[in-house]
Structure 1
Amino acid sequence: MLSVDLAFENFCHAALGDHFEVSYFNIEEAITIDCGSSRCLHYEFLHSPERQLSDSDIIVIWGDFTTSSVYVDDVLKHLVSKLKITETKAIDIYLKGLLLEECPDSILKKVLIVSSNLLPNAACQMSTRYRETATRLYSQAAAIIPRDPMSAAIAQIFRGNPTDVSCGVDAAFFLATQSATVGSADRIGFSFGRTAGPKSRLLRKWPVHRFTKALSRAASLPLYDIGWKSSGGDASLFYEKLEELRRCRLIVTDTYHCAINAMREGVPVICVGEGARHQFTTLGDKKKEFLFHAFMAQGLYAFSDNPQLIFSTHRVANEYLGNALDDTYAAQIRKNIEIAKSNQIIAFQSAIRKLVS
């Protein structure tokens, strides 16, 4: 996720000032991403973690589902397709590269797992090898700072105790806010790629689209399709999407990172998702629900399978619109996010002091 990668140095500056050097690693290949403004992110190919990481003072596993049990499925499909290797070899690359399976304890003790998500982890789906590797990594790591309270609870199970496990935020919240105002906030932006995307069944799609149109009528503002998913890994297009977000008075989306980027940019956002489904993949809706709950922003999270949204659409739309445009509520949510970010920085700093003492 590009916004997550771009946020890392900002997080380090906030936690460490200017006293650090960063090396990025990729388990697939060496790659350089042009981020615009003469800035690039270069990733070294991590082919021998026990040797390549041995001289590092701190090893950060940063963001997203990197250490979750279901991420292996995403990685496996990609590696098998791109590298033309067997599934067995792909699993080896994942466990040895991202979970540091063959690294000695001396390396694992320098690891900080930050802004991670373990929500999809289900005992019924875990392989013995994954469970043993994750347990060793989490029990040895210097600190664990997941991005949501439930992931923190799961991390404590892997760790075997609550020591040095605290709750943080999604890594993308540390991306620098684009403070410049672009145009006038004269429209409602929307982006649907999960609950109500193009491939969704009609019965899933219809309530969300009807709800969005009701918001537009209640606010007397036109709708604008942001198309957040199309930004992909293109940095210039990503920043264009941020500009589009800032041109909106309100964002309605079922896409996790669209919601986060709107929240960080200070644009009111209503997120929608299904409530009657467990999260067994990286794309489940529970991560969105937990995101809004963590900041006490439940009044901005709408369940697309809630009968009231389906049968009392206009009343529900007016209720959510009132919450979204309430300046006092918005200020409290922004404050809650800043407190959570500060807590993550403090936990990170504390772990580093223990490492270097």
Structure 2
Amino acid sequence: MASNNKPGLLLTPLIAVVIGLAVGAVVMLFGGYNPVSGYGALFKGVFGSSYDIGEMVRQVTPLIFTGLAVAFAFRTGLFNIGVEGQFIVGSFTAVVVGVAFDLPWYVHAPFAFVAGCAGGALWAVLPGFLKAKFHVHEVITTIMLNYVALIGVNYLIRTKFKGAAERTDMIHPSASLQFKPLSELFDGSRINLAIVLALLFAFLFYFILWRTVWGYELRSVGLNPIASRYAGMNVSKNIVLSMMISGFIAGAAGAAEALGVYGYMTMGATLPGYGFTGIAVALLGANLPLGIIFSAVLFGSLQYGSNNMQLQAGIPTEIITIVIAVIILFVAAKGAIKWMMNRISKPKGEAR
């Protein structure tokens, strides 16, 4: 059912963004920087050239995927903190298929991408199963599996799939999601076909959850598993299925980055961070596909534009981290924003 408070649903994230930018400006002033110059440099860094726009879109693409992955779990009553690990497994699986096979591009690229999606989905099965059968909280299991994924993939790269330096071999060109006409349109930026796939996934997210009986069951189980069980729904199956779909989308994010941007996978000492940023993207986007797209554009623009802010205005990129943190804080603290809105809208002299 659609929300009957859409203005409030949209206003809360908007106020959070305004407050975040205002706090960032105050921090700049205290640090001796000019916030007008800082935000001007940030804006120019994002929209100053077609190359910058293409690179910004490239930065936004994985955030759309991970935001959708987190939101799908939220919408079905689960909290998937394991998007990081599912992203890593999806990247690795896609690269392995991209390296191991040499097929026509119209077979190889879809095969590698779907393999990455399947890798993320399979990595999400275990926490879903433990939740469904033994009521083990998914937050604990998914966080633990993030590090298992990171260390396990690093081990496999070092021992089985090591190419040059500390990374795998390059994928075959037939597995790449790069599309030269699109890249040339944006002056040789790394924008690729993954953005089209991300928008398609956003549409499928909406269609599955709100236009199918299957999606209705998933949302019902998330809202009230006891009532759903009495209504004849298989609660355990739907919990596992929900985690698998969330992991499938997270795996798509990893496959898109590996096949569309880098073409290989390197050993990493830390988690990539896209999954945790995806939580913020989902929160700001109110767990709605269109909201997630706009939220991903905001976060991706801030992250990409902050580099130019440092280069041109000399303002540390950590300022943007503060802005993002404040936005997340106020989106999470919906009650505080509603209280402020009520205070502003209440007529003067009216008793509470």
Question: Is the structural similarity TM-score above 0.5?
Answer: no
Q: TM tier, shorter chain?
A: under 0.3
Richer in helix (by share)? 2
Tell me the TM-score normalized by structure 1. Answer: 0.25
Tell me the TM-score normalized by structure 2. Answer: 0.26
Richer in strand (by share)? 1
